[in-house]
């Protein structure tokens, strides 16, 4: 047997061995992926986007067209990122003045009882709709509320914030994660503006009730259920809508998809691990935040220890959960702080303990599960989360 025939034979045997190993890996990885999907479905979790779409909204009740008009009017305006509580910058005041027409349409939209933005055939938000543009309008409206409070018009300021929180609530039933993130941002702007109103309102507690703050609990879970359903649906179908031209050679995940005919076993392994991760995380976030956040941290740490590309797949989820928890905690801090301010105004002193506040349904911090604490820093007194001093409200 000549040397080149031996080399050809050895090469063929090696190729067959590699192909056999690849095929075995592919069969095992695909089987484990389907097992993960079965566990996901057995947990009662939705596996398609259509399972999560909210009911249709009648056209005459749908605020989405008005929000889209307001966003279009605000698009040419400068996006000022400064604070929305006094003192406001000159640029912010000028932007607010230029946005009057857009903010009036925004107000009319918030008065409608329903909201459903356009969707594509799969149920995903239409690519032409940039829900994140609502943040720009929300920032301008919160700044106008702070300006009106500074000018002594607390009633109009409160009306503006009521409109702002209604806009946040309009996104509550949107199933995807981005609208829930937008809600967190909009409500944060509203709370920043409330700081300018509480000291000027006859009753801080009544001001808080009047603006009807949005309850942000569960928004992350709603968005994650959608992300998970979309992932399961597309990974089961082999990512039919994936456009190769949008992929980047610099992103390892994109490269994995670009050559998925070859990388399929590893891709199915990753997809199965991602489905299991989402199932466990969705199970964890049904619990209160003090239990959920450590569980989410453990799941993320386990993903990092597993190595490979899984940490890239699951990155960011715990951070968004923590952001929601802090936003909910901050909202509760505002409510309790308002009661404290009213108590101080009526009786000239603070209560001996937070439990002594009149009309206080609860003084528990949702982030820690423990009562809020009062902390003196410099000449200021602050109501704070015992777990995170960044969640605080100055008592004035």
User: 139 falls in which pLDDT band (50, 70, 90)?
Assistant: very high
pTM for this entry: 0.90
357 bridge partner residues: none
Mean pLDDT for the stretch of residues 187-212? 93
pLDDT mean over 220-245 = 85
Please tell me the predicted confidence (pLDDT) of residue 69: 95
Q: Are 213 and 158 in contact (CB under 8 A)?
A: no
Kindly report the average pLDDT of the chain as a whole number.
88
pLDDT at residue 6 in the model: 67
pLDDT score for 204: 93
- pLDDT at site 25: 83
Backbone angles phi, psi at 393, to 5 degrees: -145, 125
Query: Percentage helix, strand, coil, to 5, in the chain?
Result: 65, 5, 30
* pLDDT score, position 293: 93
Give the DSSP per-residue string, 167-185.
Answer: HHHHTTT--SHHHHHHHHH
* Residue 262 CB contacts under 8 Å (≥ 6 apart), including other chains: none
SS (H, E, C) 260-283: HHHHHHHHHHHHHHHHHHHHHHHH
**Contact assessment for residue 186 and residue 167, using Cβ atoms and an 8 Å cutoff:** yes
Quick one: DSSP state of residue 243?
Answer: -
pLDDT tens-digit series, residues 345-394: 888 888 878 877 766 677 889 999 999 998 888 778 899 999 998 999 98
Q: For the segment 322-346, what is each residue's pLDDT rounded down to a tens digit?
A: 999 999 999 999 999 999 999 888 8
Give the three-state DSSP class for 309: coil
pLDDT at 7 (0 to 100):
66
Return the SS3 of 371.
Answer: strand
Reply yes or no on whether the pLDDT at 203 is more than 80: yes
**Residue 272, exposed/middle/buried by CB under 10 A (0-12, 13-18, 19+)?**
buried
**Distance in angstroms (rounded) separating the CA atoms of residues 358 and 345:** 13
* Of the candidate ranges 22-26, 152-156, 343-347, 366-370, the one whose mean pLDDT is the lowest: 22-26
C-alpha to C-alpha distance for 300 and 319, rounded to whole angstroms: 10
Can you spell out the DSSP letters for 69-123?
HHHHHHTTS----S-SSSSPPHHHHHHHHHTHHHHHHHHHHHTSSB----B-TTS
Q: What does R_g of the chain's alpha carbons equal in angstroms?
A: 26
pLDDT in tens, 39-94: 999 999 999 988 888 888 999 999 999 999 999 999 998 888 878 888 888 899 99
Per-domain residue ranges of the chain: 3-42+242-315, 53-202, 319-396
Please enumerate in sequence order all residues whose Cβ is within 8 A of that of 296, keeping only pairs 6 or more positions apart, or say none: 281, 284, 285, 317, 318, 321
Structure token digits, residue 391: 């969640």
- Tell me which of 63-72, 226-235, 310-319 is least confident: 310-319
pLDDT of residue 244: 58
Q: Residue 2 in 3-state DSSP?
A: coil
| Site of tokens 């609860």 | 362
Give the mean model confidence (pLDDT) for residues 160-184: 93
pLDDT score of 1 more than 60: no
């Amino acid at each position: 047997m000549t040397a080149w025939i031996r080399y050809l034979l050895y090469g063929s045997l090696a190729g067959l061995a590699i192909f056999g190993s690849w095929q075995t890996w592919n069969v095992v990885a695909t089987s484990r992926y389907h097992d993960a999907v079965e566990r996901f479905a057995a947990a009662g979790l939705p596996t398609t986007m259509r399972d999560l779409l909210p009911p249709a909204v009648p056209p005459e009740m749908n605020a989405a067209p008005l929000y889209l008009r307001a966003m279009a009017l605000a698009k040419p305006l400068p996006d000022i990122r400064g604070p929305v509580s006094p003192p406001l910058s000159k640029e912010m005041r000028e932007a607010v003045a230029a946005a009057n027409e857009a903010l009036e349409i925004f107000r009319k939209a918030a008065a409608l009882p329903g909201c459903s933005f356009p969707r594509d055939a799969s149920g995903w938000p239409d690519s032409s709709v940039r829900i994140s543009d609502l943040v720009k309008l929300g920032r301008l409206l919160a700044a106008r509320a702070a300006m009106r409070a500074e000018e002594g018009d607390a009633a109009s300021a409160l009306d503006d914030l009521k409109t702002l929180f209604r806009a946040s609530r309009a996104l509550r039933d949107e199933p995807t994660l981005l609208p829930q993130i937008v809600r967190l941002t909009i409500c944060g702007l509203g709370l920043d503006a409330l700081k300018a109103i509480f000291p000027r309102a006859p009753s801080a507690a009544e001001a808080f009730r009047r603006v009807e703050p949005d309850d942000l609990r569960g928004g992350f879970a709603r968005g994650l259920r959608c992300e998970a359903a979309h992932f399961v649906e597309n990974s089961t179908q082999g990512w039919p809508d994936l456009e190769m031209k949008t992929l980047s050679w610099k992103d390892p995940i994109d490269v994995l998809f670009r050559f998925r005919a070859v990388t399929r076993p590893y891709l199915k392994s990753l997809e199965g691990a991602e489905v299991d991760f989402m199932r466990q995380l969705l199970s964890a976030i049904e619990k209160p935040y003090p239990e959920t956040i450590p569980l989410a941290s453990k799941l993320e740490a386990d993903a990092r220890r597993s190595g490979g590309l899984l940490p890239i797949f699951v990155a960011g989820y715990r951070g968004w959960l923590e952001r929601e928890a802090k936003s909910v905690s901050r909202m509760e801090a505002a409510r309790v702080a308002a009661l404290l301010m009213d108590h101080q105004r009526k009786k000239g002193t603070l209560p001996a303990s937070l439990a002594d506040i009149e009309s206080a349904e609860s003084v528990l911090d949702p982030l820690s599960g423990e009562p809020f604490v009062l902390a003196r820093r410099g000449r200021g007194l602050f109501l704070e989360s015992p777990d995170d001093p960044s969640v605080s409200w100055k008592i004035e």
